[in-house]
């Protein structure tokens, strides 16, 4: 855009030089016309017409360069607005990503704690299974352990589950 403007200003300067040359020629022709030469009179008229045309061209170039300047200003304003909006958007995205990273870290810690607690629980269950297996191995061969459904702890647990179900049903009905 700036190159175009510099080209126009160069053209404007060229037109101004041409205009001065034409003025000089015109003044010279006017002096010759005073001497009464008709041929020179025609040349003066032609030069005057060229001078009018060059003035029109200069005015047009000035208008074009003025429009180009206003367009350039509006484009620059739009560009600054866009860069400001872009900077704000980038800042917001950075904040969101920081919050997301913090949340991700906290979730990772929670998951790690849960995995650790599950591993501890598994190891305790394996220890208890090993203890039970050792106790079963120590039992005499003719003694059979009671089925799991017949042990007193199992029976009390089944009774507790039934009571809990009944209480939930009563609460739902209310």
Residues 58-94: pLDDT tens digits? 999 999 999 999 999 999 999 999 999 999 999 999 9
pLDDT for the residue numbered 137:
78
Q: Is residue 135 part of a domain?
A: no
Count up the domains in the chain and report the number: 1
In a domain, 39, yes or no: yes
What is the tens place of the pLDDT at every residue in 91-150?
A: 999 999 999 999 999 999 999 999 999 999 999 988 988 888 888 777 765 555 555 555
Domain of 108 in residue numbering reads as 1-121
Asked, for residue 173, whether it belongs to a domain, the answer is no
- SS3 per residue for the chain: CHHHHHHHHHHHHHHHHHHHHHHHHHHHHHHHHHCCCHHHHHHHHHHHHHHHHHHHHHHHHHHHHHHHHHHHHHHHHHHHHHHHHHHHHHHHHHHHHHHHHHHHHHHHHHHHHHHHHHHHHHHHHHHHHHHHHHHHHHCCCCCCCCCHHHCHHHHHHHHHHHHHHHHHHHHHHC
């Amino acid at each position: 855009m700036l190159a175009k403007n510099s080209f126009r200003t160069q053209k404007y300067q060229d037109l101004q030089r041409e205009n001065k040359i034409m003025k000089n020629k015109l003044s010279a022709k006017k002096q010759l016309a005073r001497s009464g030469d008709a041929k020179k009179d025609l040349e003066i008229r032609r030069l005057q017409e060229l001078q009018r045309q060059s003035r029109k061209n200069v005015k047009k170039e000035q208008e074009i360069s003025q429009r180009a300047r206003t367009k350039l200003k509006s484009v620059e304003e739009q560009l600054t607005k866009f860069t400001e909006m872009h900077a704000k958007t980038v800042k917001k995205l950075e904040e969101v990503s920081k919050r997301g990273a913090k949340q991700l870290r906290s979730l990772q810690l929670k998951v790690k704690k849960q995995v650790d607690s599950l591993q501890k629980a598994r190891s305790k269950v394996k220890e208890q299974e090993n203890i039970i297996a050792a106790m079963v191995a120590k039992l005499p061969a003719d003694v059979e352990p009671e089925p799991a459904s017949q042990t007193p702890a199992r029976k009390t647990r089944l009774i507790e589950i039934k009571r809990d179900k009944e209480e939930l049903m009563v609460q739902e009905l209310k």
